Amino acid sequence: MSTTILSYIQLQIIRYATPIILILGNLGNICIIISFSRRRQSSCAMYLLFNALFNSFYLTFNVSLSLYGLYYGNPTSSNLILCKCRYYLSQTWNQTATTFAILACIDRFALVTRHKYLQLINKSFICRIIIGITSGDIYIDNGYQNGQVEKYSLTDNISTPVMFVGQQCFGLFLDFNNTLYCSKNGFHQIVTKSLNTNSGSIKTVAGRDCAGSLPNQLNAPHGLFVNINFDLYVADYGNNRIQLFRPDELNGTTVAGNTSINTTISLYNPTGITFDAEDNIYIVDKGNQRIVVSGPTGFRCLLGCNGSGLLSYQMNAPQILSFDIYGNIYVTEWVNNRIKKFFIVNNSCGKYLLKFILRVAKKLFLLDEPTTQLSTVVTTVSYQKANVSSAVLTLPSCLNQNQIGSNCNHSSAPCDILVPCQNNGTCINGNKTINEYSCVCLSGFNGTQCEVDNRLCKPNTCQNSGKCKETSSTTFECSCQSGWTNIYCETKENYCKNITCLNNGICRPLLLNFTCECLGTSYSGRYCENIEQTTVVRQAVSRSFSYIAIIFISSVATFIIAMDVLKYIFGIDLTKGDYQELARKQRRWRRYGQRHSKEARLPKQKQQLIYTDNLRVPSSGTLAMPNISVIGETIC
């Protein structure tokens, strides 16, 4: 009977509580979706939005089937496909919702971490990649006519203004924080605007309103690039240089050009700048009709190294350079009115790793030379007369397969092209295949490319500028700078360990020193030992009152103790006579009170007499008494 009752209670709970859970759960999810759909620029909001969306799917699907089975029977028991769908869909939606909740937690962690690469997880574009949503927005400079930058959406085919600059932007860039950069050529400035807010405020991050060659000035800036550290690179067209501006710094550093610290190449009117995945800098050197790239020994020519012209391997006034997702290079030519695409095609001589191919291609483009192993194909796309043309360039082969270049005077060995050995390892070319090599590592390093550091004293073993010294093959010792201690110099010395601050002062350790924080302004000195004169006076007065109070209390206590000793030990009672006199007075007053109280208790009588007529003498001569009548008598 008890089992039947419990089953009935369970059935009623499912019948009435399940719809309430479905309604309240979906209302909560709808509120979350509406709230976070308005903040789609935030990656955490996107994760929580999709978490609510999949939670709603999971809740609606499972609760609806449970309610249907309660009244009409379980449909999954008779339909195998529906049974599988219920299991897989419910598990998929539940796990997906949990995953988005975890991603939201990771996103919040990335927001507060100090690691620059982990901070990228907090960016909105990472969120869009994970979710699989790409905005597809294009930012177009329309400054020549309207003085503004417009965002063109591919989804709804409309454009909206996002930044008002008053003139043309010769360079546009959108960084990881969704901040838009514009190079105002006529004002010689770089301005920015955050697209995460509706505010129209414009901020100047580089340059002044006049042309110049000082570190804080620009001259007709063109191309821009901002890396993951938010370092701003500017193609300073008029000064023939590339300027680097660190975050929140107005003074730039020249990284390429005649005024750079290590000058390896001269520039003439640079217009574009970009980076590849290995942080190599690509510069469009418009005045010299070429593309230059950075390398281990400095900047070198990559494309257009044979002068300007109309041939496929020549350029005339290149303007902008960009990469696609496959690593192909696109260059716009202003005079030739065309866009050129450079890519690599493998031949049938062998299969190479992608990294090997890319590095070989960089070497070839750097020297503008072909090889028998790789063919360089240049595709030129022209829009000058609304037609599309293409040209394929195949450069001649070298007789010696170990040589490359137009003059066949450069080695094609992998050690020379790849330079694969790290940590000063020695590279030895193999004899069996063209891409075979081996690395001879220095002591303490191993690995295929000497990339594994097994030394006890690594560059970061001793922290805080400490110096590491190997004492044996298995032990080391860190010589710490002043103020640091412990095995790795990771602990700051506590200079308050043996210091006592006076007058309740608090000791605070500093680097190589300490300080005593005194209470209020009444104390000063190294150890808070100095006291103001007014404080000394107040303390003296306080002590005087304390002494007086102590003396008074001590005197009273002594007197009481002395009286008790005389009375109870020696039988001398100094207050006995006074006490007896007081007792006699009390008895006398008591008797006097009793007598008066008896009189007060006796009853009082009251008589009222009325005289009716006066004395008169009758004719007989006898004096008659007046007629007195008693009209009332009262006993009190």
Question: pLDDT grade, residue 364 (50/70/90)?
Answer: very low
Residue whose tokens read 């001259």 = 219
Strand blocks (E) in 347-482 = 374-382, 403-404, 410-411, 426-429, 437-440, 445-446, 452-453, 467-470, 476-479
Task: For residues 256 and 213, state if they share a domain.
Answer: yes
Residue 144's SS3 state is coil
| Nearest C-alpha neighbor of 18 from the set 67, 91, 82 | 67
Task: For residues 114 and 231, state if they share a domain.
Answer: no
pLDDT at 359 over 60: no
Q: Write the DSSP string, 23-77.
A: HHHHHHHHHHHHHHHTTTTSHHHHHHHHHHHHHHHHHHHHHHHHHHHHHH--GGG
Lowest mean pLDDT among 26-40, 184-198, 505-519, 595-609: 595-609
Percent of the chain with pLDDT over 70: 77
Task: Identify whether 199 is part of a domain.
Answer: yes
Provide the pLDDT for residue 333.
87
Task: Identify whether 76 is part of a domain.
Answer: yes
The amino acid sitting at 426 is: T
Question: pLDDT grade, residue 617 (50/70/90)?
Answer: low
Task: For residues 143 and 105, state if they share a domain.
Answer: no
Provide the pLDDT for residue 140.
85
pLDDT at 260 over 50: yes
Question: pLDDT grade, residue 602 (50/70/90)?
Answer: low
Task: For residues 282 and 261, state if they share a domain.
Answer: yes
Provide the pLDDT for residue 9.
80
pLDDT at 431 over 60: yes
Average confidence (pLDDT) over 453-464:
88
Q: pLDDT tens-digit profile of 147-160?
A: 888 888 766 677 78
Task: For residues 25 and 157, state if they share a domain.
Answer: no
Tell me the residue range of the domain where 7 lies.
Answer: 2-124
Q: How far apart are CA 403 and CA 418, in angstroms?
A: 15
The amino acid sitting at 105 is: C
Alpha carbon of residue 100 to chain centroid? 20
Task: For residues 191 and 279, state if they share a domain.
Answer: yes
Task: For residues 146 and 283, state if they share a domain.
Answer: yes
Provide the pLDDT for residue 39.
59
pLDDT at 181 over 90: yes
pLDDT at 465 over 90: no
Q: pLDDT tens-digit profile of 587-601?
A: 888 877 776 665 655
Task: Identify whether 281 is part of a domain.
Answer: yes
Average confidence (pLDDT) over 524-543:
84
pLDDT at 123 over 80: no
Average confidence (pLDDT) over 228-256:
90
Which one of 324, 341, 358 terminates a domain?
A: 341
Task: For residues 144 and 92, state if they share a domain.
Answer: no
pLDDT at 619 over 70: no
Percent of the chain with pLDDT over 90: 13
Dihedral sign for Cα atoms in the order 434, 436, 441, 444: positive
Average confidence (pLDDT) over 58-82:
75
Q: pLDDT tens-digit profile of 10-22?
A: 777 777 888 888 8
| Nearest C-alpha neighbor of 503 from the set 484, 521, 488 | 521
pLDDT at 361 over 70: no
Task: For residues 146 and 116, state if they share a domain.
Answer: no
What's this model's pTM, rounded to 2 decimal places? 0.43
Q: 293-302, 355-364, 373-382, 612-621 — which one is most confidently predicted on average?
A: 293-302
CA atoms within 13 A of residue 404's CA, in its CB half-sphere: 23
Task: Identify whether 592 is part of a domain.
Answer: no
pLDDT at 490 over 80: yes
Strand-pair category, 445-446 with 452-453: antiparallel
Q: How far apart are CA 378 and CA 384, in angstroms?
A: 18
Task: For residues 33 and 140, state if they share a domain.
Answer: no
pLDDT at 346 over 50: no
Q: How far apart are CA 234 and CA 205, in angstroms?
A: 11
Task: For residues 179 and 144, state if they share a domain.
Answer: yes
Give the CATH number for residue 253.
Answer: 2.120.10.30
Which one of 341, 373, 394 terminates a domain?
A: 341
Which one of 321, 341, 361 terminates a domain?
A: 341
Task: Identify whether 578 is part of a domain.
Answer: no
Phi, psi angles (nearest 5°) of residue 23: -70, -50
Dihedral, 333, 339, 344, 345 alpha carbons, nearest 10: -140
Task: Identify whether 597 is part of a domain.
Answer: no
pLDDT at 6 over 70: yes
Task: Identify whether 148 is part of a domain.
Answer: yes
| Higher pLDDT among residues 78 and 391, named by residue | 78
If phi > 0 it is left, if psi is from -120 to 50 it is alpha, else beta; for residue 512 that is left
| Higher pLDDT among residues 43 and 401, named by residue | 43
Give residues with Cβ within 8 angstroms of 208, minimum separation 6.
188, 189, 216, 217, 218
In order of 172, 216, 362, the CA distances from 169 in angstroms are 7, 20, 31
DSSP code, position 286: G
Average confidence (pLDDT) over 565-589:
80
Task: For residues 212 and 107, state if they share a domain.
Answer: no
Task: Identify whether 494 is part of a domain.
Answer: no
Q: How many domains does the chain have?
A: 3
Strand blocks (E) in 417-490 = 426-429, 437-440, 445-446, 452-453, 467-470, 476-479, 484-485
